[in-house]
Every structure is written in structure tokens, then in C-alpha cells.
Amino acid sequence: MTATATPGAPSPFRSLPNWRDLGYWPAADGKIVRPEMIYRTTEFLHTSDEDIKAVGELGLATIVDLRTTGERAACPDPVYPGIGPLWLNILEDSPEMGGANPAQFISDPAAIKSLTVDFARKVMIQTYRELVTSDSALKRYREFYILLLDDDVTPTAFHCTTGKDRTGWLAAGFLSLMGVSAEDVYADYLLTNARLLPALAPILDKLTAAGADKEALTLVLGVDASYLDEAFAALTQRWGTLENYFAAGLGIDAAGQQALRDRYLIDPA
């Protein structure tokens, strides 16, 4: 695949619409995030054989799976020769957290019909606080950042189920550490609505026809700036600053943070 020198460029894979390179975003000290090193995506449930093959030709060293045990059993990742699988169960402390796993709502007719806008927002806000503060999230996100300093682990692609919450917070934290502006961090995060929701439209229409509230479903199946607001608010409430979240929360001290910047920031061409 030939890289497109545009931050947030559309996915090159038709059946992985929420795939994107975290590279090229303008970052600290006039640099940009190094491209073709870190990708975010969804699980591979409906991925075509053609795209499965193309992903395997990207030169990835690892695919990092952020899902729960049950999610992995329901949809195992493809196995690639030469690409190491890594499992970081972000929601190990709260595997029932439905906001991060919309499949729970989709597979439960009663839950679908009872889902309201207020409850959807409440679930999603609770989910994002868990992603920032729960012990398992802190432990697993720490492991991810430590891995990023290992030459044998990158390039890497990381994913959860729909590539929007566990994946979205990891991407937002990484880009923020790189010195990407808040505006651009949110821009990358919100691309999920433009990329993923159209692919989910048939499911959304079917569930709406069965009596579900379309607005409430969209709040669960998509993303909203208020969710990321909540994550950063939880971070600030507990640690004060992003740097202290990394240092005290994730155990990545100032030297480690700088090592990540040194590795993943480059001068623009």
C-alpha cells in the first residue's frame, strides 16, 4: 500500500472502513506523527479475503487486540505468518461494559427496544471514565506504550470491536502525547462517524424498524465529542495533566514519554 500524506486519510480497505494511519498529524515542535507505524481499526469480522491479504502485506510486526475474552472467541483475529498477535484486555475489570461493545445491545432485542437517548449517553460516559481510570485499562494501556518502544513490535495495528472507544481513547492519548492539537485529536476521533456509521446503516435501519430509537442507537454505535470530553475530564480530575496521567497512571515517566516522541515524531518532508 502506498501511503497518502494526509492525516486521517480514508481507509485503503473497502471492508475495513474505520482503518486509518495515525501518522501525518501536525505535532509538537513543528514535527508530524511518523506515518506507516501505528494504525487503528475495527475487528476483522466482515473483512473480505482480498483485504485480509492486503493487511498481511503492509509489513506489520504485530496486531494488538484490545477486546475481551468473549469478543475474541466470537471473532478471532486472522492469523498471519510473521505478524505477532498481542492481547491487551482493556475491559478485564468490567467485561460487561456495553458501551464499548455495542454487539451486546444489538444481540438483545429487549435491550434494543428499551434503549433511550439518556441511557445511551449515561452508558457511554461511564464507559469512557472506565477507559481512563480502571485498573485493567491503566495496566493494558501501559503495556501498549511500553511495546511501542520495541523495534520488534512496530509497525502495529490495534483494534477493539468497532474501533471507536477502547481504540478511540488509545489513539487520542497517543496523539495528545505527541503534541497533536486538541482540535486534531478530536478530528481523528470523530472520523469514526463518517467512516463507520455508513457501513452500519443497514443494521441501524433494521433495528430502527424493529422499534429501536435511532438517535439512541447512533449514540452507542458511533462516537460523540462529549465522550472524549468525559475521558479528558476524568484524566484531569484524577491526575491533573496528560503528562501526569502517563507518569502516575501508566507508569511512563518523563524520559519514557520523550522516548516515545523521539521515536514517533519526524520532520515533515
- Would 40 be classed as within a structural domain? yes
85 preceded by a cis bond (ω within 30 of 0): no
Is residue 12 situated within a structural domain? no
Q: Is residue 101 part of a domain?
A: yes
* Burial category of 162 from C-beta neighbours within 10 Å (exposed 0-12, middle 13-18, buried 19 and up): buried
Residue in 64, 204, 221, 196 with CA at minimum distance from that of residue 143? 64
Q: What is the pLDDT of residue 135?
A: 97
Is 15 contained in some domain? no
- Specify the pLDDT at position 2: 40
Reduce the DSSP state of residue 1 to 3 states and report it.
coil
- For residues 185 and 164, what is the distance between their CA atoms, to the nearest angstrom? 13
| Overall number of domains in the chain | 1
**Domain enclosing residue 247, as ranges:** 20-263
- Let me know if residue 90 belongs to a domain: yes
Q: What is the pLDDT of residue 107?
A: 67
Note the pLDDT of residue 3.
45
- Which pLDDT tens digits describe the chain residue by residue (269 residues)? 444 579 999 999 999 999 999 999 999 999 999 999 999 999 999 899 999 999 999 999 999 999 999 999 999 999 999 999 999 999 998 766 655 556 666 667 777 778 899 999 999 999 999 999 999 999 999 999 999 999 899 999 999 999 999 999 999 999 999 999 999 999 999 999 999 999 989 888 888 888 889 999 999 999 999 999 999 999 999 999 999 999 999 999 999 999 999 999 999 98
Give the CATH number for residue 137. 3.90.190.10
6 domain-assigned: no
Asked whether residue 131 is domain-assigned, the answer is yes
Q: Report yes or no on 150 lying in a domain.
A: yes
User: Alpha-carbon distance 51 to 262, whole Å?
Assistant: 32
